[in-house]
Amino acid sequence: MTRPITRRRWGPGLVIGVIVAAGLACLGLVFSRPDVAAMGLPLAIASALALTRADAGEQTTVAVRALPLTNDGTLHTEVAVTGDAEVAELVIVQSARRRRHLILPVGREPVVSVSAALHSGPVAAVRASARGFSADGAILGPATEIAELVRNVAPAQTALPPLPLSPRLTGMHGNHEGRRPGQGGDFRDIHPFVPGDELRRVDWRATARMARRPGDLLVRRTNTLSDATIVISMDTADDLGAVVATWGSGDLERSGVTSLDLAREAAASIATAAIGAGDRVAFHVLMHGGRSVRSGAGARHLAKVEAAIAATGQAGEDARFHRTPPVPHGSVIFVVSTFFEGAASDVALMWRAAGHRVVAIDTLPTLNRERLSREQQVALRVVLADRDEVMHDLANTGVDTVAWREGIEASLSMLARTRR
């Protein structure tokens, strides 16, 4: 709901009426024509009546309400104008790019705004403001404050194969083969019976064949099944589109798919695949004051992570993170970034030096280099060369690097076959 402003002003009709009435009166006096002066009397009376109207008669308020999401990729928003004015002029800006002007009666059926969501993440679906007017447009009410509705658009997801695992799984229950003795896994070894072993695990054949003294028992031990801890760290410093000519312009309508679109898609796909396998997932945004979701599992936790991913937008210039997010021991860390800046690569190297398995997800889209000047092409080659050096440094230190493009399933499957 918006808060109205109490100031009002004259409308064009009232201004014209006052000027015409005063002009006719002056002409009648100058030329001694009372009939000419009398012609302006109705305009003068109508203008006087309009000036005596109460201020509250032209005040309006604007309320916006989000309607349920549809399957066709459009955002539906309900905009209602209420107040004491007769008619209102409503200005709606859809998805921060298209402006609509409407003249509608106040207090009637609300207007439904339909706008397309070109990108995922937080989108300003509607920005609306209204101004009421009465007395046939003679009195214009004050313009309301801008009512804005931000919708968090969920990204598309890709079905992923089993994710890479850490060499040290610390969980006690799960679907992955662990390294500690327990139950549920593959054969580990034959071990002498010790206090605490279950009698049903005694291998009588091995005992009869390998026991050295009477009374010795041998048990058949297996590995435990463990769950993995997946940590998703998203770098939101850059939002670069596929069209290089739009970098820095903020033109998201012509930019094509952006790096943050791919980052949100990668984060949501990884979280869905991990929780579907029974693992635990944590989500962190690499910025000062960024969102963080602690490690958890289950459908309810997945919905919480997906909501945090959909609400993640581009960070400001001074939003660089000051403290490395906490990471559980034995985690697999997915660092999602374009790796143009050094912060994401630095934290990836730090986690790799601490013994974690780190997977660098490159979210730079396939670049469209059309409409670039010669100087811009040279600058782009220099920037990409610096980025290639960063990616080589990550690969040389044991960080797995994967580009989020077509064929990502095969790349992750290859990484999942080995444990670093």
pLDDT tens-digit profile of 388-401?
999 999 999 999 99
Q: Which two tokens stand for residue 121?
A: 């993440």
* Higher pLDDT, residue 73 or 50: 73
The sheet that has 400-403: what strands, in order across it?
292-296, 280-285, 229-234, 331-337, 357-362, 400-403
Q: Tell me, yes or no, whether 340 lies in a domain.
A: yes
Residues 207 and 234 grouped into a single domain: no
Residue of 153, 156, 179, 181 lying closest to 166 (CA atoms): 179
CB 113 within 8 A of CB 92: yes
Instruction: Say what the alpha-carbon torsion angle 206, 209, 210, 211 is, to the nearest 10 degrees.
Output: 100
Q: What is the CATH number of the domain that holds 138?
A: 2.60.40.10
Residues 206 and 237 grouped into a single domain: no
Residues 205 and 272 grouped into a single domain: no
Q: Which structural domain, as residue segments, surrounds residue 396?
A: 229-416
Stretch 151-159: mean pLDDT:
89
Q: Which helix (H) or strand (E) holds 365?
A: none
State the pLDDT at residue 137: 58
Q: Tell me, yes or no, whether 256 lies in a domain.
A: yes
Residue of 246, 321, 315 lying closest to 288 (CA atoms): 321
Q: Determine the 3-state secondary structure of 32 from DSSP.
A: coil
Q: pTM, whole model, 2 decimals?
A: 0.75
What percentage of the chain carries pLDDT values higher than 90?
24
Read out DSSP for 210-252?
H--STT--EEEEEEEEE--EEEEEE--S---BSBGGGTTTT-T
Q: What number of helices (H) and strands (E) belong to the chain?
A: 9, 17
Q: Tell me, yes or no, whether 2 lies in a domain.
A: no
d(CA 147, CA 6): 17
Residues 259 and 276 grouped into a single domain: yes
Tell me which of 194, 209, 226 is where a domain ends: 226
Q: Tell me, yes or no, whether 169 lies in a domain.
A: no
Residue 132: strand pairing partners:
88
The dihedral region occupied by 36, where left means phi > 0, alpha psi between -120 and 50, and beta the remainder, is alpha
Q: What is the CATH number of the domain that holds 341?
A: 3.40.50
Q: Give the orientation angle of helix 299-310 with respect to helix 259-276, to 10 degrees.
A: 180
Instruction: Characterize the bridge pairing of strands 331-337 and 229-234.
Output: parallel
d(CA 66, CA 76): 7
Instruction: Characterize the bridge pairing of strands 98-105 and 400-403.
Output: unpaired
Please report where in the chains the tokens 């997800």 appear, as a residue.
Answer: 361
pLDDT in tens, 204-240: 777 777 777 777 888 777 666 677 889 999 998 888 9
> Within its chain, how far is the Cα of 157 from the centroid?
14
Within a 10 A sphere around the Cβ of 403, how many other Cβ atoms? Answer: 17
Residues 320 and 407 grouped into a single domain: yes
CB 232 within 8 A of CB 291: no
pLDDT in tens, 265-312: 999 999 999 998 888 899 999 887 778 899 888 899 999 999 999 999
